[in-house]
Amino acid sequence: MSTTTTTPEEHPCPQSGGDGEPAGVTEFFRRLAAEEQAEALAAVRASINAAAKEGRAANIKRQLSWLGIEPGEVFALQTLGPTDQAPSYLGLCRSIDEAVALTHPSSLAANNRWGKTERINFQGIYLVANRLVGRIDEVVEPGKWVVMPKGVITDERIAVRRHFYLDLDTQRRDEFGRALTLPISATLDELLKTISSAIKIEKEIVEALGLLGVGGKTPGRLSMPYDAVARMMSGNGIQLWFRLDDIPETNELHQLVRELLAIWSARYDSDVSHVDFGVHDAKRIGPLAGTTKKKGVNVSLHRRVTFTGAPEPIRITLEQLQRLVLFYRKLLTVEQRAAVAKTLGIRPKPRPAAIHTTRGGRLSSYNRLPIRDVAAKLGIDPEKPVCPNCGEGGAASDVAFLDDRNLLNCKHKRCAARPNRTCADLVAKVVFGIDNLRGTTGVVAQVSGWFQSNFPGALS
């Protein structure tokens, strides 16, 4: 019986089987979900393997066509050296075919800093995917590799953002449980776990896009616009690429992408994988599909980067991106909101002093909790609140949260003379039927106990 061998490039995710056994009703549904996940994982692995077999040129053409690279457009490729001390190289291209030619193994050579031609030693080849401006082809000659000049690829040279991506990498930890960043590729087991996480994340994001009407469906009705997402196997994990509607680059757009990645990091980071928040800038490079990632010295872990996406991807507009950020904001827990603020470098705004405090000022601390979260715990709709005193509100506009002051305001005539309600006021009224904490006996301790039970550790 003859045997054949394949390189890691050809089969980055070799297939394997599984087994199963009968179970009870609860176990049945758990197993059903596990089987569906296993089927999805098998399908993704098969897709990655098929793309890897197609080779370098096919993947490059698919990625650049998905991005809408136009004939004559100048775009940039970049190599990164195997170490921080090794030089990086820049290659400008004027067509997809030129990118294919420039990344052929025979073309990966350049003059070094001393004018001597040498082979380019790299750990990966990357692409500046957003549209460049600034007559860059008059600074660097296209069609050849040159040592990366300083100050050529900057955010100021990006005119249009046509994509961004969620970069889900394998999470490694040391013996003390601390996160590690290592310049090596994932093992097969690590990669499969990351792919499994990516499948769940992709499904949730696609569901959100469908609810927001991306893909032409009516907003609020569930559809699954998977054509809005392309999938890249980057060698160390999975990247989900989102095709934007060629949106002019602005600070507003940058901040939207930045916040969304911070939210996804807070929501989707796990012991298995983590979201790289740092890929939000407009000039950000992404792996060039079809080329080989060579991180680390273990050659068996070097893999061909693959790219799969719809030939005519659904494009996300600026308005849809804005609504996607708002949608995800509402999903965050108190802890996740704190994590997002920390990632974005936002210091909490000081809240106004509480009207009601104990001697130690404990209720003042509870009043700094997001009032919409407290309301939700009390059964009050955080989007269409009903006043706990007069019962007005809901779809009406006379009851609203004052987010900048963290208060609930009711304009109905029965409440017009009352002060705005703090978090402690809401709990006192809804849970204990107390309308005014001043002069009450024992209620402050009960209110404090409610907060400790429902928001444990939030203010520790």
Q: pLDDT tens digit string along 21-37?
A: 444 556 666 777 788 88
- Whether 293 and 239 have beta carbons less than 8 Å apart is answered as no
Lowest-confidence segment of 7-16, 95-104, 182-191, 437-446 by average pLDDT: 7-16
- pLDDT value of residue 202: 96
CB proximity list for 425: less than 8 A, separation 6 or greater: 355, 356, 408, 437
DSSP 119: E
Indicate whether this model's pTM tops 0.75: no
Angle at 200 (CA atoms; ends 198, 203), nearest 5 degrees: 105
| Whether the predicted pLDDT of 352 surpasses 50 | no
- pLDDT value of residue 174: 82
| Whether the predicted pLDDT of 359 surpasses 50 | no
Q: What is the mean pLDDT of the chain?
A: 86
Residue that wins the pLDDT comparison between 45 and 14: 45
Residue that wins the pLDDT comparison between 286 and 177: 286
Q: How confident is the model at residue 396 (pLDDT cuts 50, 70, 90)?
A: low
CB atoms within 10 A of CB 13: 22
Name residue, tokens 């009207």: 355
Q: How confident is the model at residue 17 (pLDDT cuts 50, 70, 90)?
A: very low
CB proximity list for 168: less than 8 A, separation 6 or greater: 194, 197, 198, 201, 237, 238, 239, 240, 268, 273, 274, 275, 276
Q: How far, in Å, are 124, 148, 260, 318 from residue 324 at the CA level?
A: 32, 36, 8, 10
| Whether the predicted pLDDT of 134 surpasses 80 | no
Question: Half-sphere exposure of residue 31, counting CA atoms within 13 Å on the CB side?
Answer: 11
Residue that wins the pLDDT comparison between 386 and 198: 198
- Whether 412 and 387 have beta carbons less than 8 Å apart is answered as yes
- pLDDT value of residue 439: 57
- pLDDT value of residue 231: 97
- pLDDT value of residue 281: 96
